[in-house]
Structure 1
């Protein structure tokens, strides 16, 4: 089987694709893969580190207001479709899977026009413009949230979940927290705002550091590179042994499975990860995303009792500490939230997507 995957711009589009590739490599070792990304996307940093053939296409997104830049965007899209067709002819995939981002628009569209079986994977509860456009042409649509099916042709849609969940669920309990100068036996709150960090979360954590230093639980905070120096210095001044500030956490799956509570944004990948593990969470949806989709991502989990949610505009250090205490000081609430979280996860997502592929090729 030959599979071409395409998606880029953000980790939320890239990591599900790579998780799916890793799963298929395990169940079908002879399968061949190619990844197609955008020339300026984050995938240029991530994919080359993997043992995976990688091609890039020049493309850019549409401006949401009237702009001359959109003339160039249309030109680049047409050009990128021709480039994609050349890549497809050379690789001759049995199936093309797009996980989002403008580059997947060109590649999946080209594949559909060439008669190649195609799948788009939508990670969020509200689809992006690219996947809404592609849904008219593709063979099947794979979703991570049940409610998103209303945006697509219903006969094409199957709920599969996010392949990243199946990758994370294999993580094991360990002493990984000792790598961050924390006690593996202590209850742990993991806080992060994404790979780049999040200003409002960072401000709240800085306000809360003194309170955190007095707690019986410990805090592991991934600040992002841009905020690391300032937060780390403030934490060191407190000489708190129960707080660890890191610029980035590379072994996130293993850290998650050894944590008690997660605090962070409501991105689709994070949600797939912690629900697969059955972790309770406090979510602070980013207000800077298209169609406020992070709030919608989180809402069903709030209704299920799996998470608590704080609006970005209402976040303060005091409110953050108060809500964390409410959960960490109440083992019964932790247990209830964890059970609810587990019911919302789809831990066999990669397998489901693989079965969809097998159905159409």
Structure 2
């Protein structure tokens, strides 16, 4: 199979695409792959570092207000379609997959216009503007949350596949990697993590909870995000930084590798995080970002909490007291942990990539 994949802007669009490509290679179903993104996007670094062929188009999103700038955006979109058609003609794909972000709109639309099979993958409960636009033209719409069904009028095109990132992490086993962070691999561990860039409200609440964490029966792995690390360390009393119960880090490379050793995750509720957490059945406390489009992180979190696999603390409710109370409630209740873990695994999709691949091969063979 020759495949073009396009998605960019955020890791939530890129990592599922990378997981799909990885699984296609594992199953020896791929003859050649090309990733189309933008030069300035996060995908440029991630995809090329993975050794995958990469080409770029220039495109950006519309402004919410009516401005002359939007005229330029329309011109850029039309130009990006023309360039996408040229890329497609040269590569000759059997199928084109879009995982979201403005860049995929031009690539997938161009493929549709050239009568090449197309699929989009929607990672969130609330569909992005690009996928809502493309849904009218593509052959199939793959979704990761059943709640996303109502976001599309073309119900006959919808296939529930889950998020490919889930299958990528599901077979990771327990290991002793916590030793790298001066923690005990045999002790129950909570990881507090606000995303790759960190989250200031989560960091501040955690800093104020350090005194209580020192006395807890469990240990805490606090990942601040690189941009916040120096300020966070300055605000924490040195005696807490020296505690055997606490480890403070800016970031963890290959984060999924450590997940099987974590008893509870506290953090944002992005689609990729939820895919990983539910695939492994890890209880969670979600603190959704209220700043994302259409508040989709809250909707994502609710889809997990409604089955009893997670608790939610809104950012407006977040304090050191509410944070410690929720963490303590779960970490000191083995029965609750086991119940949350079981419910989490029920909604996890351990074969998400294979489900999506079945959709792709079905279209190609047809």
Residue 347 of structure 1 pairs with residue 354 of structure 2: no
Q: Secondary structure at 1:35's aligned position in 2?
A: strand
Aligned match of 2:94: 94
In the alignment, the residues of structure 2 paired with residue 191 and residue 20 of structure 1 have an alpha-carbon distance, to the nearest angstrom, of 28
Identify unmatched segments of 5+ residues in structure 2.
none
Rate the CA distance shift 1:286–1:31 in 2: closer, same or farther, 3 A: same
2-structure distance, mates of 1:235, 1:130: 46
The alpha-carbon deviation at position 7 of structure 1 amounts to 0.1
Equivalent position SS for 1:34: strand
Question: What SS class does the counterpart of residue 206 from structure 2 fall into?
Answer: helix
* Residues 235 and 245, structure 1, Cα contact 8 Å, conserved in 2: no
> Conserved in 1, the CA contact under 8 Å of 2:123 and 2:143?
yes
C-alpha distance after superposition, 1:53-88 (max 9, x if no partner)? 001111111111222221121111111111111110
Shift of 1:237: 3.7
Indicate conservation of the 8 Å contact 1:97/1:108, yes or no: yes
1:326 equivalenced with 2:329 (yes/no): yes
Which residue of structure 2 lines up, in the alignment, with residue 226 of structure 1?
227
Paired residues of 1:108 and 1:118 also in contact (CA < 8 A): yes
- Indicate if the aligned counterparts of 2:189 and 2:263 stay in contact, CA closer than 8 A: yes
> 2: CA distance between counterparts of 1:132 and 1:27?
31
Aligned to 1:213: 214
Who is 1:187 aligned against?
188
Distance change in 2, residues 1:79/1:235 (3 Å) = farther
Aligned residues: 361
Asked whether the equivalents of residues 24 and 30 of structure 2 are also in contact (C-alpha less than 8 Å), the reply is: no
- Residues 326/199 of structure 1: CA separation in 2 closer, same or farther (3 Å cut): same
1:240 correspondence with 2:243: yes
Aligned to 2:260: 257
Deviation of the 1:34 alpha carbon: 0.6
2:282 paired residue number: 279
| Inter-partner Cα distance in structure 2 for 1:52 and 1:15 | 13
Q: How far did 1:357 drift? A: 0.3
Cα distance in structure 2, aligned partners of 1:19 and 1:346: 14
Alpha-carbon distance between aligned partners in 1 of 2:58 and 2:237, rounded to the nearest angstrom: 43
Query: 1:1-361 alignment to 2 at 5 Å?
Result: 1-28=1-28, 30-152=30-152, 153-233=154-234, 234=236, 236-238=238-240, 239-361=242-364
Does the aligned pair in 1 maintain the 2:3–2:30 contact within 8 Å?
A: no
Q: Given that residues 39 and 59 in structure 1 are in contact (C-alpha distance below 8 angstroms), is that contact kept between their aligned partners in structure 2?
A: no
SS of the residue 2:251 aligns to: coil
**C-alpha root-mean-square deviation of aligned residues, in Å?**
1.0
Q: Please give the alpha-carbon distance, in whole angstroms, between the structure 1 residues aligned to 2:351 and 2:297.
A: 23
Question: Which runs of at least 4 in structure 1 moved beyond 4 Å after TM superposition?
Answer: none
TM-score (ref. length: structure 2): 0.97
Offset from partner CA, 1:289-328 (integer Å, 9 cap, x none): 1111111111121110000000011111111011000000
Displacement after TM superposition at 1:101 (Å): 0.1
Decide whether aligned partners of structure 1 residues 198 and 260 sit closer, same or farther in structure 2, where only a CA change above 3 A counts: same
With over 3 angstroms needed to count, the CA separation of the structure-2 counterparts of 1:235 and 1:341, relative to structure 1, is: farther
Task: Assess if the C-alpha contact under 8 Å between 2:126 and 2:299 holds in 1.
Answer: yes
Q: Which runs of 5+ in 1 are unaligned?
A: none
Cα-to-partner distance string for 1:127-147 (whole Å, 9 max, x where unaligned) = 010000000000100000012
Alpha carbons 2:2, 2:30 under 8 Å: kept: no
**How far did 1:235 drift?**
5.7
